[in-house]
Amino acid sequence: MRILKIDHIGIAVKNLAESAKLYEMLGIQSTGSEVVAEQQVKVSFFPVGDSEIELLESTSPDGPIARYIEKNGEGIQHLALRVDDIEAALEELKANGIRLIDEKPRYGAGGAKIAFVHPKSTGGILLELSQR
């Protein structure tokens, strides 16, 4: 497994259009928004250098992002690392006793293969692995 870079930082927001204004004011143009039905979420990506900021708004009152905001309020929800081979990365983490939320990759925004690692194994950080 090779970690290539910080792919993006995921921020849970109540209202994507409202929250986008800050980044637009900072001169960061969104690459558009997309609904990821499986995760009950609408996302927008704001590229910053070689990484991106991902804003996530729940599309359902009981989706994972809605539940996150209910518990923690709006804010940074996950950190995503880009890997060269996500299947190999998951195997390696599992072999090292790291608790995975997704044992197999699924498809996230932009057609990326993604998988989440449990915060219990990462010092409280919801870690996303992403391969594009």
Binding site for Zn ion (CB under 5 A): 10, 54, 80, 128
66: Cα separation from own chain's centroid = 14
Closest approach, Cβ 22 to Zn ion, in A, equals: 18
Cα distance between residue 10 and residue 19, in whole Å? 13
State the virtual CA torsion across 80, 31, 39, 117 in degrees, nearest 10: 0
CB atoms within 10 A of CB 98: 15
State the virtual CA torsion across 77, 79, 82, 83 in degrees, nearest 10: -110
- Residue pair 41/54 in contact (Cβ under 8 Å)? The answer is no
| Closest CB to Zn ion among residues 12, 93 | 12
Question: Measured at CB, which residue is nearest to Zn ion?
Answer: 10
| Closest CB to Zn ion among residues 64, 85 | 64
Cα distance between residue 112 and residue 105, in whole Å? 9
Closest approach, Cβ 8 to Zn ion, in A, equals: 6
Closest approach, Cβ 46 to Zn ion, in A, equals: 12
Closest approach, Cβ 80 to Zn ion, in A, equals: 5
| Closest CB to Zn ion among residues 11, 93 | 11
| Closest CB to Zn ion among residues 67, 95 | 67
